[in-house]
Amino acid sequence: MTAASATPATPTHPVSGALTAADGPVAAALRSALSDDRVRTTATELGLYRRDASNIEGSAGIVCFPTSTAEVRAAVRIAVDHGMPFVARGSGTGLAGGATPLGGALVITLTKMNRILSVDPVNRLAWVEPGVLNLDLTRAVAVHGLHFAPDPSSQQSCSIGGNLANNSGGPHCLADGVTSAHVLAAEVVMPDGDVVVLGSEGGETDGYDLRGAFVGSEGMCGIATRICVRLTQNPPDVRTMLFDFDTVEAGAQTVSAIIAAGMVPAALEMMDQLCVQAVEAYIHAGLPVDAAALLLVEVAGPVHGVADEVERIVAIAREHACRTVRVAQDEAERALIWKGRKTAFGAVARIKPNYYLHDTVVPRRALPDVLRQVYEIADRHGILVMNVFHAGDGNLHPLLVFDKREPGVLERVHAAGEEIVRVSVAAGGVLSGEHGIGLEKRDLMPLMFAPADLAAQAALRAAFDTTGLANPTKVLPSPSSCGDSHEVPEGAWI
């Protein structure tokens, strides 16, 4: 099946300049509902909010910074009253264009709503505002021996609201589950201005799981203003191991064998040779730069179980011709190993100035074959590719590195990227494991879903957003999104 073709470049909800002007009616209403200094309309400031961490650019009409549920509600109402689309924005680290405003939308930035409202260390849950940064929550509850389990690599800067809206994952989601499993409830300002609480502290409410439907809705079903998250007990013991292999296949087979042996490690991460070389040049951790693949395995839990699993995992790795085994001897060594994994993106910058990070999932058993195809695709397009990924759940992150000053390179990067997505889906995989669809993969949705499947998703969205103004034209390609016409901004794939 081919991706839906894009329709003309007319914004869905063309917002007139008169509405968004500094002295226009929307700005004036926002200023009186919020405050003068929290409503921004200058070209410089709007420019800062025209995209997220993807390379897809849109245009913001007005940017505002509410500090309470009441202010978010007022902002949503004002936008809807004027027929103006609005976009919730957390830290703007999203990689799929989810927070990219289109056609002069109102950007509702939640960074000033960043208070941890309450922590119940006994029942292990917390209420937070959406702008709280992921790592800040984990740091704040560390005194209770707890943490927030989803740990995206961007955890120092991404917000819990963004995590919820993208249903984000991270290395430690293999054993403990992605964000959806850690969100018990959310207070949501609905696009029609209603304020509701979806879900409950107990986590299993009567009726439809509207909480579950809201998680991962990429800002298209309303704006979360308070979030109740589950906190996880820190493990009494943690062991981190590194194995290296002569072939990617041997590394991938080790991953499958560990799982088939009945173990679910806390994390199972893989890096290929080019990536290891880049990271080693950057952090000097003594990584084996001549290996084809490096596997990071972390086991966590009570001591005896951990010791037993370390032994069994080392044996499995040896059976699969692993060359060397390195078990972190102390917390410093563990931190160094993880630094290698988490700074992979920074390390890449030393090779080429630009990168495009992909995100697909394939069945674990298909990893070697899909990786082979990824190398072949990148080769054919003359692009350098590195792979650093969540091998435990088959979540690939091919990183295409390039210098955008090279003529024609962006076209090749996009062409290679689309082929990577296609081979992943063809191998029994899915379009995205954690970054979401946004604008980036919107028009590839038909690779995975038939029109009836997309219509069901559109029905879910329509049940939440009766106005069609909450972050419109994302995620669903045009035929199923109830007449939304589609603007295709610069940088999106089509």
Partner 1 sequence: MDLTAFAAEVATDDPVTIAGLGTRGGAVAGVRCVSAPRGIEWIQADEMTVSCGAGTPVDELSAALAAVGQRAVLPAGGTVGGALAVGRSGIRRLGDGAVRDVLLQARYVGADGVVVKAGGPTVKNVSGFDVCRLLVGSHGTIGFLGDVILRTRPIAPHAAWFAAPTDDPMAVFAAVHRPVSVLWDGTHVHVLLEGHHLDVVERAMRTGLVESDGPPPLPAARHSVRPADVVRVTAGLRSGTFVAELGMGVVHAAPDAIPPTAVDPGVAAIARRVKDGFDPTGRLNPGRAA
Nearest-angstrom CA–CA distance, 311 and 308: 5
- Select the residue interacting with partner 1 from 239, 341, 422, 435 (CB under 8 A): 435
- Select the residue interacting with partner 1 from 122, 143, 405, 407 (CB under 8 A): 122
Contact 416, 374 (CB under 8 A): no
Nearest-angstrom CA–CA distance, 76 and 87: 9
Terminal-to-terminal C-alpha distance of the chain: 14
Which amino acid is residue 463, in one-letter code? A
Is 123 a binder of partner 1 (CB under 8 A)?
yes
Is 460 a binder of partner 1 (CB under 8 A)?
yes
Q: Which does 394 bind (CB under 5 to 8 A by kind): partner 1, ligand FAD, none?
A: partner 1
Tell me phi and psi for residue 22, to 5 degrees.
-50, -35
- Select the residue interacting with partner 1 from 167, 225, 254, 473 (CB under 8 A): 167
- Select the residue interacting with partner 1 from 6, 181, 285, 292 (CB under 8 A): 181
Reported in sequence order, the residue ranges of 74-149 that DSSP labels E, i.e. its strands, are 86-89, 105-109, 116-120, 125-128, 146-147
Q: Which is nearer to ligand FAD, 41 or 134 (CB)?
A: 134
- Please state the closest distance from residue 31 (CB atom) to partner 1, in A: 28
Q: Residue 370 belongs to what H/E stretch?
A: helix 367-380
DSSP-derived letter for residue 467 is: S
Is 153 a binder of partner 1 (CB under 8 A)?
no
Nearest-angstrom CA–CA distance, 123 and 147: 13
Total residues contacting partner 1 by CB under 8 A comes to: 91
| 227 φψ region: left (φ > 0), alpha (ψ -120 to 50), beta (else) | beta
Q: Residue 138 belongs to what H/E stretch?
A: helix 134-141
User: Which of the residues 52 through 71 are near partner 1 (CB under 8 A)?
Assistant: none
- Please state the closest distance from residue 178 (CB atom) to ligand FAD, in A: 8
Q: Residue 86 belongs to what H/E stretch?
A: strand 86-89
Selected range binding partner 1 among 49-57, 238-246, 273-281, 431-439, rule: CB under 8 A:
431-439
Nearest residue to ligand FAD, scored by beta-carbon proximity: 162
Contact 249, 146 (CB under 8 A): no
Q: Which is nearer to ligand FAD, 91 or 253 (CB)?
A: 91
User: Which of the residues 373 through 392 are near partner 1 (CB under 8 A)?
Assistant: 390
- Select the residue interacting with partner 1 from 264, 315, 335, 349 (CB under 8 A): 264
Contact 62, 26 (CB under 8 A): yes
Nearest-angstrom CA–CA distance, 52 and 96: 8
- Please state the closest distance from residue 318 (CB atom) to partner 1, in A: 19
User: Which of the residues 308 through 337 are near partner 1 (CB under 8 A)?
Assistant: 308
- Select the residue interacting with partner 1 from 45, 120, 379, 411 (CB under 8 A): 120
Q: Which residues here bind ligand FAD, judged by CB under 6 A?
A: 52-53, 87-95, 98-99, 110, 130, 152-154, 158-159, 161-163, 165-166, 168-170, 218-219, 223-224, 345, 434-435, 471
